[in-house]
Amino acid sequence: MNIQKFLLTRRFELPAKLLSVPAVSVFQSCGMKHFPAPPTYDHVEIPERPKLRFVDKVPYYAPGIKAPKMQKKLRLMRGPETVHNFLIHKQYGIMALGGGRLKWQHFEMMRLAIGRKIDPQRMFAVWRVDSPWQPLTRKGQGQRMGGGKGAIDHYVTPIKAGRIIVEVGGKCEYKEVEGFLRDVAMKLPFQAMAVSQEIMDKEKKEEEWREKNNQNYYTMKYVMQNNLGGCQRWMSPFDFKFLGKYL
């Protein structure tokens, strides 16, 4: 029984101290709570294979074709990603913050870690990167220099900054997947972070706002083009292309 109902049923005079107190504090009662409705995921469809598929350690070649060797091609890791830099399912995923290479061991680590954490009944995960395809060569221990290019040691997948590595979705909220996505991102050989569609939209708006409201006249582009301090002596063509934003 609350105080207001108790005072109405019992007829007696209130003390002078209670009369001086505002009515809100005397007849205070619990109010109605209006919580927002939880989000609905009726539009989400769970695929037949909700977990990440197994990735081949070595690419497949047709019979009779020798596996070709390749140069380092560091340009495959430099600069921003221009194609796979968005979430297809508009939910959650892992985004690379810098360039690097993914080995087969990293693929297995992500597959096992995410497969143990997601609920296949209402969650799913998909790859957004190709299986290892770029060959890296290495010579045996103790060999002398020369003698041609070494044999293929293993295969990797080059990654650029802004590339979506893995995408997770389903009938779940970001708080449910943030923990294990962040743990997986910390184990990758380059800087990465767990993202959602809301986080990516917010970062994009903030970056546009900073570029639009920048009051510093000496931007990186102005400094490099005008050779302030003789900075062009130690800059590479990639610095002029990306204006110091990507290493």
Asked if residue 110 is part of any domain, the answer here is yes
pLDDT classification of 9: cutoffs 50, 70, 90: low
Block residue for tokens 């290892």: 132
Task: Tell me the pLDDT band of 34, cut-offs 50, 70 and 90.
Answer: confident
**Do both 185 and 168 map to the same domain?**
yes
Q: Is residue 131 domain-shared with residue 178, that is, in the same domain?
A: yes
Q: Which stretch of DSSP H or E encloses residue 104? A: helix 104-117
The angle formed by the CA atoms of residues 14, 17 and 20, to the nearest 5 degrees, is 95
Q: Quick one: pLDDT at residue 35?
A: 83
Residues 81-105: what's their mean pLDDT? 97
Average pLDDT over residues 130-151: 94
Are 133 and 243 members of one domain?
no
Residue whose C-alpha is closest to residue 241's, from 109, 110, 75, 16: 75
Q: Does residue 133 share a domain with residue 180?
A: yes
Prediction pTM value = 0.83
Do residue 72 and residue 101 come from a single domain? Answer: yes
Return the closest-CA partner of residue 122 out of 195, 88, 173: 173
For 197-241, write each residue's pLDDT tens digit. 999 999 999 999 999 999 999 999 999 999 999 999 999 898 999
Domain around 246: 216-247
User: 97 with 184, same domain?
Assistant: yes
Q: Are residues 198 and 220 in the same domain?
A: no
Shared domain for 238 and 207, answered yes or no, is no
Query: Would you state the pLDDT for residue 32?
Result: 73
Secondary structure of residue 34 in the 3-state scheme: coil
In terms of Cβ atoms closer than 10 Å to its own Cβ (0-12, 13-18, 19+), residue 175 is exposed
The tally of domains found in the chain comes to 2
CA distance between the termini of the chain: 69
Place of tokens 């919580």: 35
Q: Is pLDDT at 173 greater than 70 in this prediction?
A: yes
- Domain for residue 159, yes or no? yes
- 145: in domain: no
Q: Which residue has the higher pLDDT, 24 or 94?
A: 94
Say if residue 156 is in the same domain as residue 240. Answer: no
The amino acid occupying position 64 is: G
String of DSSP letters for 43-77: T----S--SPPP--SS----TT-PPPP----GGGT
In-domain check, residue 10: no
Q: Please indicate, yes or no, if residue 121 is contained in any of the structural domains.
A: yes
CA–CA separation, 204 and 206 (whole Å): 5
Question: Could you please report the per-residue DSSP string of 171-214?
Answer: S--HHHHHHHHHHHHHTSSS-EEEEEHHHHHHHHHHHHHHHHS-
Nearest by Cα to 3 from 24, 20, 33:
24
* Same domain for 132 and 233: no
Name 83's Cβ contacts closer than 8 Å, sequence gap at least 6: none
CB 179 within 8 A of CB 116: no
